[in-house]
Amino acid sequence: MFIDSTFRQRASTRPATAEAAHVIELVSREMAISKSLLLHHSRCRAPTARARQVAMYLTHVAMGQSLTAVGLAFKRDRTTVSYACGLVEDMRNDPKFDAELDRLEHLLTGGQGDA
């Protein structure tokens, strides 16, 4: 029983995909939020929640992961991921936020897709 719960606890703190791990590492570093908070089961404070939403958005949009895969990586339901992606899309109307998101996407993709 102890081994089973320990395994589940350790497994639940790891991202489900390599793509999500890459995004989590980047967002953690660039937004100064610990990886453990990005993966924490609670909502946390607004800056942490916002960073998590950005990370979920980038994992879905920039890395091409399904909503279900992103949900597994962040320990959230796919509908929560969908909601987060919608919020981030709405925030892209702010030119400063949009520029920051573009910068993060560029860092993630290494400039792939530039014309």
Q: Mean pLDDT over all residues of the chain?
A: 86
What single-letter amino acid sits at 97? Answer: F
d(CA 107, CA 98): 14
CB atoms within 10 A of CB 112: 9
Q: For residue 91, what are its two tokens? A: 């925030």
Residues 104 and 18 sit within 8 Å (Cβ to Cβ): no
Structural fold of domain 2-109: Chromosomal Replication Initiator Protein Dnaa; Chain: A; (1.10.1750)
Q: Per-residue confidence at 111, pLDDT binned at 50, 70, 90?
A: low
pLDDT at 31: 95
Quickly state the pLDDT bin for 43 (edges 50, 70, 90).
confident
* pLDDT band (50, 70, 90) for residue 44: confident
Measured distance CA(111)–CA(115) in Å, rounded = 9
- Domain ranges across the chain: 2-109
pLDDT at 89: 97
